[in-house]
Structure 1
Amino acid sequence: MGELLGTVDTPPRKRLRDLLSTGGPAVAPGAYDALSARLVEQAGFDIVYMTGFGTTASLIGRPDVGLLSGAEMVDNATRIVSAVDVPVIADADTGYGNAINVVRTVRAYEQAGVAGVHLEDQVMPKKCGHMSGKAVIPTDEMAGKIRAAAEARRDPDFVLIARTDAAAVHGLDDAIARARAYADAGADVLFVEAPTSEEGIETVARELRGVAPLVFNWAEGGRTPPLSLERIGELGFSLVIFPIGTLLAATVGMRSLLATVKAEGTPTSALGELPSFGEFTDLIGLPEIGELEQRFS
C-alpha cells in the first residue's frame, strides 16, 4: 500500500498486462496527484489512471488544452507512482512533438515507473478528448510515432495505448481504420476516444474485437453515453477509466467547506463531515513513519 520501504511481489507492468488479459474490464479511476492516487489504491482498485485533464487543473488551474509540458506531466507521474504500489497508467498526450520527441517521452515515463501510457493522434496543442475544435495528424504520421514508442521502451511489459480522436473530426469509420493501423504499428491497446452513441460504442467493439485490448473512457459528464460496467464488459472492453470523478468530487468538497468558512467565519460546523486530523495522518502513512523512526533510531 504505497509504503516508503514496501515491496511488491509482481512488478506493476506485469500486473497491468495480466489485468488486461483477464477478460475484464479492469477499472482504473483517475488520480490527479499523489493523494488522490493513494485514495484510489486504498479504495481497493488495482490500477490508477493519471488524468491529464486533472493534472492540468490541479497544477495550474487551467483547462486541458495542451498547456502543460511533457516534463510537468512526467514529474506528476513520478510522484503518483511513488505513492502507490498498484500499476499507474499515465496520459502522455501527443508525446509532446514528433516521433523523436515520443522516444524521449516514452523513456521519461518509463524511468518514472509508470506501467503504461496512452498517446493520441491530435495536432499540438491538443485538447481534452471531449471538447470541440480538435484536429488530428495524418494516420501515417501517428503510426510512425507508435513505432517510435515501441522501439523506445526498454521494458517489453511497458504498455503502449494508442488513442485516436478522429471520430469527432472525420467520423467513426476513420477512427476505427486508424486504430487498426496503430495496432499494426505496435500499440498494445487501442483507445477510440469519444464515440457519441451506444451504437457507435458497439461498432468500435465489434470492429476492433480481436485486434487488441480496448479502452472505454467513461468520462464523467463527457460526450460518450454512460454505460454500465456490466455492459462495457459484455462488449469486450478490457479497461475502463473514470478520469475526472475524483477531481470533481474534491471540487465539491472544497467548495462546500469554503462556503461554510465564508458564511460562518470558521469551519466548525463542517468538521463532522471531514476526517479527523488523526484519521487523515493515518491515511497518508504517519504510522509507518513512526515505525521507521523506531527502527532506525
Structure 2
Amino acid sequence: MLSSQVDARAKRQAFRAGLESGRLQRFPGAFTPLTAPLIQELGFEGAYISGAVMAAELGLPDIGLTTLTEVVQRGHQISRMTDLPTLIDADTGFGEPMNVARTVHELEDAGVAGLHIEDQVNPKRCGHLDGKEVVSADVAAQRIAAAVKARRDPGLVIMARTDVRGTVPGEQGLSLAVDRAKALEAVGADAIFPEAMQSLAEFEAIRAAVKVPILANMTEFGKSRLFTHEELEGVGVNLVIHPVSLLRIAMGAIERGLVDLRDSGTLDGQLDGMQTRARLYELNDYASYSAFDQTLFDFEVPGTHE
C-alpha cells in the first residue's frame, strides 16, 4: 500500500547481485508507475525507466529536452511502486561534470537502483537514429568519473553508455566502441551500455573487452535485431532492456480503440482487450487501502468480470 516497503539500498544490492548472478536480468520499460507492479508480479528482475518514453509522454522528441527535475520526478514515481530495482536513463548527465554530480545525488534520492550516462554531445539524439555525435573520450570519461565520485551510496550502479558505434560504419565503429568501453570501465563504470550493436558478434566483442556487466538494448525498429533472451545470455550479456515496448503496445491499442470509437460510436467491441476494473483495482491494491481505513474506503473490490 502507498509504496514499496523495500528501501533503495536493498534494491541496489539486489541489482548488483543480479548482475553478478550469471543470469540475464530482464528489465521491461515501465512507462507509468502502474506498470511497475505489473512487471514485478509477472516475474521480471527489474524495471527500466526510459528517457525516450519520458520525452514521448510529454509530447517531445528524444533530443534532450526533458529536464533533470522531470526525470527525477518520474524516477521516484516509478521506483516507489515496486520492490524491484529500477535503472533510469540520465541522458548526458544534464551538463558538465558538476551537473553530472548533482544528477547522481538527485536520482539517488529518488530511489533508483542504477542510472546510465551517455557520451553524446548536447543536444543528444535517440540512440538508434543516424547523425549522432559523441564527445571525446576524455570528456566521456570525465562524466563517468564525476558520477562515481558523487555517489554517496556505494550500491548505486553507475553505468556508462557509449553511442560511438553508431557514428562510424563497419569494423572501425565497433573498434571505437570497444576502446571506449575499456576507457569507461577504467574510470569506474560499474557496467557498460554499448548502444546500437548490430549483431550478436558485436555484443561478444564488448563482452570480451570488459570485465564489468554489459547491457543490450532491445528496442523495436532500431539498429539491433530483436535477439531473444536466450541468444543474449548465450553471448554473455548481463542485462536486457525493452525501453519503449510497453508504450508502443499501449499507444497502438489506444489508437485502434479511438478509431473504433470514432467509426462505430461505442467501445463495446474493445472490451475483451481491455484491462478489467477488478484487475486495475488489484494492481492499485484497493483492498489494502480499504482494510487500512474503512472510514475513507468503505467498499468491496469488484469481481474479475468487471
Whichever residue aligns with residue 262 of structure 1, its letter is R
Determine the structure 1 residue equivalent to 2:2: 4
Task: Return the match for 2:61 from 53, 63, 87.
Answer: 63
Determine the structure 2 residue equivalent to 1:177: 179
| Distance across 2 between alignment mates of 1:5 and 1:248 | 26
1:236-266 Cα distance to aligned partner (Å, 9 max, x none)? 1111111111011001111121112111112
SS, match of residue 34 in structure 2: helix
TM-score after normalising by structure 2: 0.91
Determine the structure 1 residue equivalent to 2:19: 20
| 1:220 and 2:210 correspond | no
Matches within 5 A, 1:77-96: 77-96=75-94
Runs of 5+ consecutive residues of structure 1 not aligned to the other structure: none
Determine the structure 1 residue equivalent to 2:161: 163
Determine the structure 2 residue equivalent to 1:152: 150
More deviation in 107-116 or 262-271?
Answer: 262-271
| Distance across 2 between alignment mates of 1:254 and 1:270 | 10
Task: Return the match for 2:208 from 201, 206, 209.
Answer: 206
| Distance across 1 between alignment mates of 2:215 and 2:275 | 34
Equivalenced residues, count: 292
1:188-222 Cα distance to aligned partner (Å, 9 max, x none)? 001111012333233222333xx211111111221
SS, match of residue 126 in structure 1: coil
Q: How much identity, in percent, do the aligned residues show? A: 36
TM-score after normalising by structure 1: 0.93
Tell me if structure 2 keeps the 8 A contact 1:198–1:225: no
Displacement of 1:98 in angstroms is 0.5
Displacement of 1:40 in angstroms is 1.5
| Distance across 2 between alignment mates of 1:286 and 1:100 | 43
| Distance across 1 between alignment mates of 2:276 and 2:111 | 32
User: Which contiguous aligned blocks of 4+ residues in structure 1 show a shift greater than 3 angstroms?
Assistant: 294-297
Determine the structure 2 residue equivalent to 1:283: 283
Displacement of 1:39 in angstroms is 2.2
**Aligned pair in 2 of structure 1 residues 5, 248: CA closer, same or farther (>3 Å)?**
closer
| Distance across 2 between alignment mates of 1:220 and 1:284 | 29
| 1:76 and 2:78 correspond | no
| Distance across 1 between alignment mates of 2:204 and 2:19 | 19
Tell me if structure 1 keeps the 8 A contact 2:199–2:224: yes
How large is the Cα RMSD of the aligned pairs?
Answer: 1.8
| Distance across 2 between alignment mates of 1:205 and 1:283 | 38
Whichever residue aligns with residue 15 of structure 1, its letter is A
Determine the structure 2 residue equivalent to 1:100: 98
| Distance across 2 between alignment mates of 1:79 and 1:291 | 24
Runs of 5+ consecutive residues of structure 2 not aligned to the other structure: 298-306
